[in-house]
Amino acid sequence: MISKPMRSTAVWAGLLCAVSLAACASPAHAVPAPWAATTASAETAGGAVSCTSAEGGRAGRLAADIADALRDRRSTVSVALDDAGTATTCGLAPQRQFDAASVAKPIVLGALLRARGGHLSAEEQELARKMIVSSDNDAASALWKELSTTGADGTVRPTGVEQFLKAAGMKGTAPGPGGAFGLTRVDAQDLVRLLRVFRGEGGVLTPEEGSYALGLMHEVRGDQRWGTPASAPEDAEVHVKNGWLQRSDKADEPADRGDWRINSMAAFTGAGHDYDLVVLTQNNRAPAGRSAREGYRYGIATVEAVAKAVHSGLSSAPVADAAPKQDPATPTAEAASRTATATGSRRTSDTTADRAVDAALVAAGLGAVVAGRRMLMRESRRAAADRPA
């Protein structure tokens, strides 16, 4: 089971304010805004790291720390972070596509659960466990085949996977050709969306089906728990899946021992933690004349450098913004854009009313309440799922 976040008395009080803002908050122009939503960016060789947070100073620190972690790395990197607990998101080329390798396997699992309505046969359960916990390629290929259909012209298509991707809104993901699940093209943004689907959001899977998927990721064997879990909080429950693949972009060299794709995705839950992190990399090459294994280790080190910066940035206390705050009663276009960025890129389960409430809270200087309100919404959904029909 997924541990439920702990809630403080202060969060509950903030949630009551969110439900009846007019009754318990002063007029917007009279409310100080120490927690106004901010967006910050920092440049890397592969593009800008952009972060938005409802907690003062956190966006700038995270963007700078992630960029610093990548400053001397040769890898091509994409990052996506989504933290409901602190209303924080970060991205570095989050829509850049990569070969999935084994991070395609949670997609296969999601497609299987949706196709079967959560009712897997004993054989399918065994294959799913092998595919996720041990990263067994034969098991993944067998399930991929189950989710495929053959057309009149003999063309084999993974229709079950395609249907799942469409339902999940994973528009940047393209299934691999034929039975090559590992050559599925993915982006970090879509994989974060997948993890939120596993949390029961968006109605793609039931909470029970999502918990089953995360439960298998929680049991991934020890020698495959590297990457995004590096330096994660000790009290967090970690649900991880990694992928690694030796492959060249050159058509005549499909297996280049000097080039590695190293990918890692994880959800962090329990003890108040509620965030997802995806780091995708390629061009992890060993120096000339050195063992190809060095490229593999180099890619892992790149992923873990990002992960350490993220876990540290989310665990530390927020600091005040250096920039002066705008009067919430007369927000500038830039401030409105920041608010939209902070509240508009939320979960697929959000309604228009949810987003409007979040925007009003942030504009009123109550950005910290957004995180608490979302925490309660998630708990309410999980509690409802736990009640017998």
Q: Which residue has the tokens 């029909």?
A: 389
Question: Residue 186 above 90 pLDDT?
Answer: yes
Question: Residue 80 above 50 pLDDT?
Answer: yes
Total residue length of the chain: 389
Most confident of 48-52, 175-179, 325-329, 350-354: 48-52
Question: Residue 62 above 70 pLDDT?
Answer: yes
Summarize pLDDT for 294-314 with one digit per residue, the tens. Answer: 999 999 999 999 999 999 999
Query: Measured between alpha carbons, how far is 93 from 356 in angstroms, rounded to an integer?
Result: 27
Which residue in 173, 174, 175, 200 sits closest to 189, CA to CA? 173
Q: What is the mean pLDDT of residues 235-245?
A: 97
- The model's confidence at residue 389, banded by pLDDT at 50, 70 and 90, is very low
Q: Which residues pair with 159 in a beta bridge?
A: none
Q: What is the mean pLDDT of residues 5-19?
A: 41
pLDDT at 339: 36
Tell me the one-letter amino acid at 324.
P
Coil, strand or helix at 225: coil
The model carries a pTM of 0.75
Query: Measured between alpha carbons, how far is 213 from 321 in angstroms, rounded to an integer?
Result: 39
Query: Measured between alpha carbons, how far is 109 from 136 in angstroms, rounded to an integer?
Result: 13
Q: What is the mean pLDDT of residues 181-197?
A: 97
Question: Residue 388 above 90 pLDDT?
Answer: no
Q: What is the mean pLDDT of residues 243-268?
A: 78
Beta carbons within 10 angstroms of residue 129's beta carbon:
16
CB 311 within 8 A of CB 69: no
Detail the DSSP E strand segments found in the chain.
Answer: 38-44, 47-53, 76-83, 88-92, 98-99, 149-150, 156-157, 185-186, 237-246, 259-270, 273-285
Q: What is the mean pLDDT of residues 224-251?
A: 91
Summarize pLDDT for 22-34 with one digit per residue, the tens. Answer: 333 333 333 334 4
Which residues, in sequence order, are CB contacts of 159 under 8 Å at separation 6+? 147, 148, 149
Which residues, in sequence order, are CB contacts of 358 under 8 Å at separation 6+? 342, 343, 346, 370, 373
Question: Residue 5 above 60 pLDDT?
Answer: no
Q: What is the mean pLDDT of residues 334-362?
A: 42
Question: Residue 12 above 80 pLDDT?
Answer: no
Q: Could you say which DSSP state residue 345 is in? A: T
Q: Which residue has the tokens 């995004």?
A: 228
pLDDT at 347: 38
> For the chain, what is the mean pLDDT?
80
Question: Residue 364 above 70 pLDDT?
Answer: no
Query: Measured between alpha carbons, how far is 310 from 38 in angstroms, rounded to an integer?
Result: 17
- The model's confidence at residue 285, banded by pLDDT at 50, 70 and 90, is confident
Question: Residue 386 above 70 pLDDT?
Answer: no
Query: Measured between alpha carbons, how far is 297 from 125 in angstroms, rounded to an integer?
Result: 32
Question: Residue 341 above 50 pLDDT?
Answer: no
